[in-house]
Amino acid sequence: MSSGPLYGANVFANGIRQHYLRYGGKGPSVILIPGITSPAITWGFVAEKLAERYDVYVLDVRGRGLSSTGPDLDYGLDPMAADVVGFAAALGLSRPALLGHSMGARIAMRASVSAPDAFSRLALIDPPVSGPGRRPYPSKLPWYVDSIHQSLNGMDAEAMKAFCPTWTEGQLTLRAEWLHTCYEPAIVTAFEDFHKDDIFPDIGKLSVPAMLMVAGRGGVIEKVDQDEAQALCPALEITHVANAGHMIPWDDFDGFFVALGDFLSR
């Protein structure tokens, strides 16, 4: 049986409404920041496992889920990072760990660099490392936009299978239910920023323990990227989930937690 979240709530921080789901309630605090089209609820199955050891707060990033959205917001990396800093301060969390996936990992890095005393450690799950002069991010923008367009008119798990063919029925159903909350301009801006905003300088400025988790079949982070990141941050811990694509816990749930180990509370 799924235990589900303790509750969902909203907090006004960094000038916007931020919606979150809280799991566990005991142990060290962890803020989980999902990727580009992943509302908080879609990470519930991971948060439930983390909640066995941690007090977990899963964010709806602006422009997604139940957080503030619309044409008046800035969906760039800096304001999204400022949201996380503001969120932790608004809830009075004392140096929580950050676990970010994909876009969320980029947000976590930028947040930590901008507020180096606010967070205790970073688990960076397969972040896009594309940027000016670098190879492009392997996923293409139409994959996101086309599926969002379909979701706006309602879609079921079977229709979502065309976009995520390896996912389980439950995963497909949840994504089909929530994808319509992903505001297309927010998604387009974030995708374009994968190629405009180079994250490597942030890696060189990290001042807290950090882990980089690499998907063996994701095609997002290659050996050359790992070597560059390690040179910029010699203390960076690099782990691998060999049989997973970019959506690591969807592809290899157990492998994800083996790679993460006790890093968040070490």
Encoding tokens for residue 29? 């605090």
Encoding tokens for residue 71? 């044409």
Is 102 part of the annotated catalytic residue set?
Answer: yes
Q: Is 259 left (phi over 0), alpha (psi -120 to 50) or beta?
A: alpha
**Backbone angles phi and psi of 125, in degrees to 5:** -100, 100
Q: Which residue has the tokens 């008046």?
A: 72
Is 180 part of the annotated catalytic residue set?
Answer: no
The rounded distance, in Å, linking the Cα atoms of 164 and 217 is 15
Q: Which residue has the tokens 């996101």?
A: 144
Give which of 89, 83, 114, 99 is closest to 35, Cα–Cα: 99
The rounded distance, in Å, linking the Cα atoms of 88 and 86 is 6
User: 102, 120, 147, 151: which is the annotated catalytic residue?
Assistant: 102
Which residues, in sequence order, are bridge partners of residue 18? 11
User: 169, 184, 192, 222: which is the annotated catalytic residue?
Assistant: 222
Is 169 part of the annotated catalytic residue set?
Answer: no
**Backbone angles phi and psi of 58, in degrees to 5:** -100, 125
For residue 7, give every residue at least 6 positions away whose Cβ sits within 8 Å of its Cβ, in sequence order, or none: 21, 22
Active-site residue numbers?
Answer: 102, 222, 246
